[in-house]
Structure 1
Amino acid sequence: MTDNPDPQGAAPQQPQVQMRVLGQFIRDMSFENVMAQKGGRSEGQPDINVQVNLDGKKRGADHQYEVAIKLTITSKAKDSGDSLFLMEIDYGGVFHIEGIPDEQLHPFLMIECPRILFPFLRRIVSDVTRDGGYPPLNLDNIDFVALYRQEIARRQAAAQAQAAEAPTQ
């Protein structure tokens, strides 16, 4: 007689993770060619700054989630500091996700979903900057795991600071 209640001796199976991209879209985008508006020309290397924000939320339908990557890209001339261009884009995707435990859903939405969206977003940024009269901006890969960890650490530090400021009774 065995202590294993399963007659086949198999370990209990985890639910199968299912994920499908249902759609992708640009919610909002702007490209300001500041240098062209001033009538100037850009010479030399640009200094490019990219800020990344992520957002995720549950949609009304079962197992559907929306994830957005928001980029703010500024380019300035290294020598003069003059603005060359400013690009803002809010790029989203709708995902059908099943089989993810609740405690792992948030990291999955903020890491895996942006990884899937990023190559498409990179292409749009490249095309828009090229069409705007600049060399195509090919964004480096974004480490969404590191970004997620930084945000969690920032939230924990903010919560600790808030708790320290709270008056004790």
Structure 2
Amino acid sequence: MADTDTPVFQIQRIYLKEASLEQPNSPAILLEQEQPTVDIQLGVDAQPVAEGVYEVRVTATVTTKIKDKTVFLVECKQAGIFEIRNLPEDQMAPIMGIACPQIVYPYLRGNVADLIQRGGFPPVHLAEINFQAMYEQQQAGQDTAEAPRIIT
């Protein structure tokens, strides 16, 4: 096999693409004694950047509420640039839907917890995610067309 046909899978860069923290009802909501509810949504998407180079993004949205008032809302998008070449076409979707998100996700988890803590709240630690099961559900058509999923 020639070098030009050798399969390539390399991480080029992992980076925080976007992060925001909103506290629309502060400071009044901070005096509430009730336990807040936490809703976590997760999404994965990918797009080509150049020939054989792809950006894979994992997005988390954490919404914490007391009754109907938002305590805080965090949106965080972690991305990775991956060089993926000379792989069979049928392996590309699983690589970008399973392998790449598994690499990016730990960085997202840390950034979400850190951002929430820097906002003055106890950190919310995102659970481990089985991206293979998530991908297989999508392939089986069990998910709707909505990209984000609720993970609690």
What's the TM-score once normalised by structure 1's chain length?
0.72
Structure 1: stretches of 5+ with no match in the other structure:
1-14, 159-169
Q: CA deviation at 1:108?
A: 0.9
Higher relative contact order, chain-length normalized (CA < 8 Å, sep 6+)? 2
Structure 2: stretches of 5+ with no match in the other structure:
146-152
Whether the aligned pair in 1 keeps the contact of 2:77 and 2:108 (CA below 8 Å) is no
RMSD, aligned CA? 2.4
2:103 to 97, 103, 116: 116
Please identify runs of 4+ aligned residues in structure 1 that moved more than 4 A.
155-158
Structure 1 residue matching 2:140: 3-state secondary structure: helix
CA distance in 1, matches of 2:72, 2:13: 29
Residue 130 (str. 1) matches residue 120 (str. 2): no
Once the two structures are superposed, the pairs formed by residues 1-169 of structure 1 within 5 Å of their partners are: 17-38=7-28, 40-60=30-50, 62-77=51-66, 80-154=67-141
Whether the aligned pair in 1 keeps the contact of 2:78 and 2:105 (CA below 8 Å) is no
Amino acid at match of 1:128: L
* 1:41-98, Cα deviation, whole Å (9 max, x unpaired): 34343321111111112222x3211101111111123xx3432111112221100123
Q: How many residues align?
A: 141
Greater fraction strand: 2
Q: Percent identity?
A: 30
What's the TM-score once normalised by structure 2's chain length?
0.80
**Structure of larger gyration radius:** 1
